[in-house]
Structure 1
């Protein structure tokens, strides 16, 4: 199929339809922000964590206006550069912060749309070039252009109307900024812009620390998808230089290095045990103090490098999937996750619509997500306000929420393995005359 015909397929969704979708999302967000539900949503622990609460940012900005170091206590966990950015955004939008969050959230959705649009184009072109190497009876596994290229629009829809993303935006969670950084990083990665990719990876890592491990998947992308060693070097150089620049700027804005303890120390040592949708808070609440350091090392290794090397080796030929998978692992196991983090990775799932026929746990995962999301605020209210439940009830819900994400991720990765097998060997699973067993290696 010619590139011209490919672009015709890829433009099945017209620009007016995208504009109408974005306007609808803006109206929904604005209505919720102006309603009485805004404060209710913003105060939920599933939405606001110690790291992304706008209330804490507001207090930090107020302390800064009084020439008081906002990092002296245990209030603020945003970097000085982020605080400076928020201050200027408030000035640009003249204090109407809801307009800033709406603008950034819709911008993220549009960036993800163009990211997945480029990804599906490259995926289709790659398959067209390699069709001669596929098994003869693997036609049913081939990509269907009319469905594949609609996936970018579904990503747009999923992000804009995902309840997790809506809650994050309406609740003024600074995860909205973090998601924008990640989306621009992905956009520049698939479009082969190593400088921009390195810059936004450094910005995302300065905010949350964990995205540092995305260096390896991005390197895999430039090596196997872009096939350019020069861009790998440029990307790594821009990442290192930007990280050093951010460190210098933060030191100047913060006048000292106290922000390191408040920002990265909080992420790594988990001093604030406020409940959230993650797994850290319960374990460290119940743990004996003399075991704390051991489990901090164990949990942080689990979040960062434990799965990185094996997953990268197995899916190095699918670097975009690898990047999303590593980000998904970070989302599940990070110390202070929120529903905004989960919503971001879930919104990227339609870009892998070609793997859905091979998945097996969609219904189970969907049911678990719906039930755990519905029960979380109820059980938290019973625990904290009614005193008729305890931490075990709420942790059971967060554990179910994490297990659902794990099932989704493993199902997605296994679907890719099954599709690769069928493209190479066809429907017949007999190897040397015996029935083969398909398994992850």
Structure 2
């Protein structure tokens, strides 16, 4: 009953905010809407498509053709249902994350039972019981439903709502062992925003563990199904655009080359505004490698036994370093963090990170107003806030990873520390 009440309250809040007078202001905020997910740009693309004008010929529309056709028919036939549709999709995302966390809890419990013999006697009180594990799913649901980042993202009716749903569905499919579902949904998410391609690594590991077969064969099957699904989506999109693949440059190319430098909460826009043009290609490649490839191999090698943690970290890192991030992306990975609430005891930066999130969330709109409307600030002020916001996220992720390593070490070696057979102590001199 309590879970149903949460859904009801969260749904009513979203639906009500969509219909208030300030909705247009929310939908146009730079922290929420980007050139990739903006509702305003989506309407413009649909309008051009409806008048037989290629929406990709200009510089205003960068969604996939599949999304274009979907919303064309929705706006043409049942436009009145769109606010309710976005609300339902966001609630469905919360539900899928809830089910994913449930499946992960069962996996974590089995893993904990198998490693029981390796746990130090004095650390056995750190093992999690059923009630503690059950709480994690409730927190996942609550954090997504009532996180202001997620709420505002839904209220602005950005297409990030759909991206979050696709990513959540792919994680749920992987955690329950449904390879085709997981690959289809992650292919859809990749086709829309490119960066979710990173998730194929933890999803392949997760499917191999859940299905308990030959790991190498499972990896190959997962990769093959994903590539086939993604290729089919690219072909369907080209078919929609009368056999032309020119849309690829205005979707994937737009994401990778970052031509639109409108301010957002990311790190690209200010850097490339100030850079000399002849250095642009070098640094675009460096930034995109950092976002798409740099962390996958080392993190996979270290956390291959925890694919859900690996997925959480890769989603977070791609959010921080992608070319056009928004707070909807941040709200999504924050909802995954309660699955690791047992690590919070080992985290050292919780207070600093929490304060940084609150302060930057308040300062961002304030500094934007001072810069754009009052003229008493400049771009440096706003970029300083976004840089602090990104730094806080990096602190959060690194602290979470170190907390996992600390807990793993403590479980195996115990809490006492000895040097030469005697209790260790720090002496200040």
Q: TM-score, normalised by structure 2?
A: 0.95
CA-to-aligned-CA distance 1:103-128 (integer Å, 9 cap, x gap): 10000000100100110121012212
* Contact persistence 1:224–1:319 (CA under 8 A): no
Counterpart of 1:149? 134
Q: Unpaired segments of 5 or more residues in structure 1?
A: 1-15, 437-441
* Counterpart check, 1:130 vs 2:115: yes
RMSD of aligned alpha carbons: 1.7
* Counterpart check, 1:391 vs 2:363: no
CA-to-aligned-CA distance 1:9-64 (integer Å, 9 cap, x gap): xxxxxxx2111110101111111111112111111000000000011111111111
Q: Unpaired segments of 5 or more residues in structure 2?
A: 425-429
* Counterpart check, 1:254 vs 2:241: yes
Which of 221, 226, 238 aligns to 1:239? It is 226
The 1:389–1:221 alpha-carbon spacing in structure 2 relative to 1, beyond 3 Å, is same
Residue 226 of structure 1 deviates from its aligned partner by: 4.4
Residue 93 of structure 1 deviates from its aligned partner by: 4.2
The 1:431–1:143 alpha-carbon spacing in structure 2 relative to 1, beyond 3 Å, is farther
User: Any residues of structure 2 matched to 1:395-406 within 5 Å, and which?
Assistant: 395-406=383-394
Q: State the distance in 1 between where 2:100 and 2:76 align.
A: 30
Q: State the distance in 1 between where 2:279 and 2:201 align.
A: 31
The alignment partner of 1:196 has SS state of: helix
* Contact persistence 2:256–2:284 (CA under 8 A): yes
* Counterpart check, 1:319 vs 2:307: yes
Q: State the distance in 1 between where 2:402 and 2:209 align.
A: 20
* Contact persistence 1:148–1:353 (CA under 8 A): no
User: Any residues of structure 2 matched to 1:365-380 within 5 Å, and which?
Assistant: 365-380=353-368
Residue 429 of structure 1 deviates from its aligned partner by: 3.5
The 1:90–1:19 alpha-carbon spacing in structure 2 relative to 1, beyond 3 Å, is farther
Residue 221 of structure 1 deviates from its aligned partner by: 2.1
The 1:337–1:233 alpha-carbon spacing in structure 2 relative to 1, beyond 3 Å, is same
* Counterpart check, 1:359 vs 2:347: yes
Q: State the distance in 2 between where 1:92 and 1:366 align.
A: 45
Q: State the distance in 2 between where 1:435 and 1:188 align.
A: 48
* Counterpart check, 1:423 vs 2:411: yes
The alignment partner of 1:348 has SS state of: helix
CA-to-aligned-CA distance 1:383-406 (integer Å, 9 cap, x gap): 111111100000000001000100
* Contact persistence 1:89–1:100 (CA under 8 A): no
* Contact persistence 1:185–1:198 (CA under 8 A): yes
Q: State the distance in 1 between where 2:380 and 2:49 align.
A: 39
The alignment partner of 1:95 has SS state of: helix
Residue 430 of structure 1 deviates from its aligned partner by: 3.9
The 1:195–1:234 alpha-carbon spacing in structure 2 relative to 1, beyond 3 Å, is farther
Q: State the distance in 1 between where 2:49 and 2:348 align.
A: 52
Which of 257, 270, 277 aligns to 1:282? It is 270
Residue 254 of structure 1 deviates from its aligned partner by: 1.5
Which of 344, 347, 350 aligns to 2:338? It is 350
* Counterpart check, 1:341 vs 2:329: yes
The alignment partner of 2:265 has SS state of: coil
Residue 433 of structure 1 deviates from its aligned partner by: 5.0
The 1:143–1:253 alpha-carbon spacing in structure 2 relative to 1, beyond 3 Å, is same
| Equivalences, count | 422
Q: State the distance in 2 between where 1:361 and 1:199 align.
A: 37
